[in-house]
């Protein structure tokens, strides 16, 4: 088990290195001078050149990459002589559009996205898996058909429509909740919950529908296996057969989907954050694209892709815990 984990972590380090190279090259392949984007309409050639030097864009490409990577681990100094300023580690760049370190902007936006993703993840996993198991145990009955019909509707609705409908009926018409105004859970837990409950439900409806169908199909497939019939023939309680044998055997694709979906949301739930005015990572990325803020675009892309890579490694390790045969591969 331990050598398996070591191999996966070595692979993760290599993939992160490749990711950093690709992200950096994409940033430099943009057909626009990044230094021209650092000031407004009153830019002069002298200001542009000064900003190019401050950002280190006058250096050869390998030197720029080395400075960028070094900044992530130990920080970096922009400029030279008396015109310098420090960007503390982990330094992901400096946004002249906002006059702030990109890392600071991400630190402010990332907790919002994490709370949104984790809250929705818990809801959709609980309701999706429970509904899928319930429907599988009642295959062909009215409960099964009803759950499948509901999940088909939930899976067909776009998340922005779900969010807008919740805003309209829960807040505007019923006035059950105040209009979302995000605050940290450390400042006001009640207001935080009131703000996040509708975004959680919006995402959970969409994903729970998918996980209900996925869990049901996996349970029906595994419950028809010979070892399930053998377990029942031995007189094991049905709950134990379902929980210990059938569900665990069908858990692998569920873990795969869950890991990837959660990692994707941690990179930013753009539509949901915009509908509910949440200052998360996805909204930060879209605002950066609108403002052509290249350092912020690069940093948010790197962070989102890093979540995907880490999720892949975690899923691989969970495979080994779920199915011991994976350790031999």
**Helix ranges (DSSP H) in the chain:** 2-29, 45-54, 61-74, 102-137, 142-156, 159-166, 189-222, 226-233, 238-240, 248-249, 251-266, 270-275, 281-291, 294-322
Angle between helix 281-291 and helix 102-137 axes, rounded to 10 deg: 130
Binning pLDDT at 50, 70 and 90, where does residue 83 land? low
Least confident of 70-74, 91-95, 232-236, 274-278: 232-236
Asked if 201 contacts 310 with a C-beta cutoff of 8 angstroms, the reply is no
Q: What is the pLDDT of residues 298-322, one digit of tens each?
A: 899 889 889 988 888 888 888 777 7
Among 208-212, 286-290, 324-328, the range scoring the smallest mean pLDDT is: 324-328
pLDDT in tens, 165-207: 999 999 989 888 888 789 899 899 999 999 999 999 999 998 9
- Residue 323: its pLDDT value, please? 65
The runs of H, that is alpha helices, within 138-250 are 142-156, 159-166, 189-222, 226-233, 238-240, 248-249
Kindly state the average pLDDT of the residues 43-52: 79
Distance CA 199, CA 6 (A): 38
Is 185:200 a contact under the CB 8 Å cutoff? no
Q: Say if strands 76-80 and 83-87 run parallel, antiparallel, or are unpaired.
A: antiparallel
Instruction: Outline which parts of the chain fall under CATH 1.10.3720.10.
Output: 102-328
CATH topology of domain 102-328: MetI-like fold (1.10.3720)
Rounded Cα distance, 62 and 108, in Å: 31
Residue 311: which residues within 8 A CB-CB, separation 6 or more?
259, 260, 262, 263
pLDDT tens digits, one per residue of 107-157:
999 999 999 999 999 999 999 999 998 998 888 899 999 999 999 998 888
């Amino acid at each position: 088990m331990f050598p398996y984990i070591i191999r996966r972590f070595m692979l993760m380090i290599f993939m992160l290195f490749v990711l950093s190279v690709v992200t950096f090259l994409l940033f430099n392949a943009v057909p626009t001078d990044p230094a021209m984007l650092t000031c407004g309409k009153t830019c002069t050639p002298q200001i542009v050149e000064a900003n190019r030097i401050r950002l280190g864009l006058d250096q050869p490409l390998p030197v720029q990459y080395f400075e960028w990577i070094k900044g992530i681990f130990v920080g970096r100094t922009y400029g030279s002589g008396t015109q310098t300023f420090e960007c503390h580690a982990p330094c992901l760049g400096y946004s002249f559009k906002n006059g702030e370190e990109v890392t600071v902007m991400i630190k402010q936006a990332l907790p919002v996205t994490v709370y949104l993703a984790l809250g929705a993840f818990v809801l959709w996993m609980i309701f999706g898996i429970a509904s899928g198991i319930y429907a599988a145990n009642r295959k062909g009955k009215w409960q099964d058909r009803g759950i499948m019909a509901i999940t088909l509707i939930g899976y067909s609705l776009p998340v922005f429509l779900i969010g807008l409908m919740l805003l309209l009926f829960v807040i505007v018409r019923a006035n059950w909740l105040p209009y979302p105004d995000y605050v940290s859970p450390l400042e006001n837990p009640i207001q935080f919950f009131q703000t996040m409950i509708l975004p959680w439900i919006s995402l959970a409806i969409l994903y729970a529908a998918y996980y209900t169908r996925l869990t049901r199909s996996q349970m029906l497939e595994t419950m028809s296996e010979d070892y399930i019939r053998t377990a029942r023939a031995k007189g094991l309680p049905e709950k134990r057969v379902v929980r210990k044998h059938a569900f665990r055997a069908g858990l692998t694709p569920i873990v795969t989907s869950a890991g990837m979906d959660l990692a994707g949301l941690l990179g930013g739930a753009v539509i949901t954050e915009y509908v509910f005015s949440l200052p998360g990572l996805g909204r930060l990325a879209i605002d950066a694209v609108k403002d052509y803020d290249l350092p912020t675009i690069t940093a948010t892309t790197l962070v989102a892709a890093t979540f995907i890579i880490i999720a892949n490694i975690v899923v691989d390790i969970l495979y080994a815990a779920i199915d011991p045969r994976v350790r031999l591969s």
